[in-house]
Copies of this chain bind each other. A is one copy, B any other.
Amino acid sequence: MILEVAILDVKLGQENEFEAAFRKAQRIISSIQGYVSHQLQNCIENPGRYILLVNWQTLEDHTVGFRESEQYQEWRSLLHHFYEPFPEVEHYQSVYSNVL
């Protein structure tokens, strides 16, 4: 399993609108082949910052399967205009884990 990590900086004052758009958008990502689970969390020290964590079965499920899908166009148009700067997305694999 692969963890997608994106730190999302949302334009000032657009946090509520972003959260409403994300509520819709998460239905898109959840429907993709290889999707396992996701979390959107909001930064306590910096309220315009979010972290998106998505578990995928394989790296390619995200980088090819999702990003080259039609659904990705909808995801992009719902969410990408909120970000400033545009986020860097990285992928991680587990070394140690003790998750309940």
Which positions in A face B, CB cutoff 8 Å? 2-3, 5, 19, 22-23, 26, 30, 36-46, 49-51, 53, 55, 59, 90-100
Task: Report Cα–Cα, A92/B44, bound state, in Å.
Answer: 5
A37 pairs with B3, CB closer than 8 A: no
Instruction: Assess the A90–B59 pair: CB atoms within 8 A.
Output: no
B38 touches A97 (CB 8 A): yes
Note all chain B residues with C-beta closer than 8 A to A100: 36-37, 55
By a CB distance below 8 angstroms, the chain B residues around A55 are 99-100
Query: A2-B44, A44-B59, A59-B44 are known contacts. Are A37 and B90 too (CB-CB below 8 A)?
Result: no
A99 to B41, CA, bound (A): 12
Separation in Å of the A65 CB from the closest CB of chain B? 16
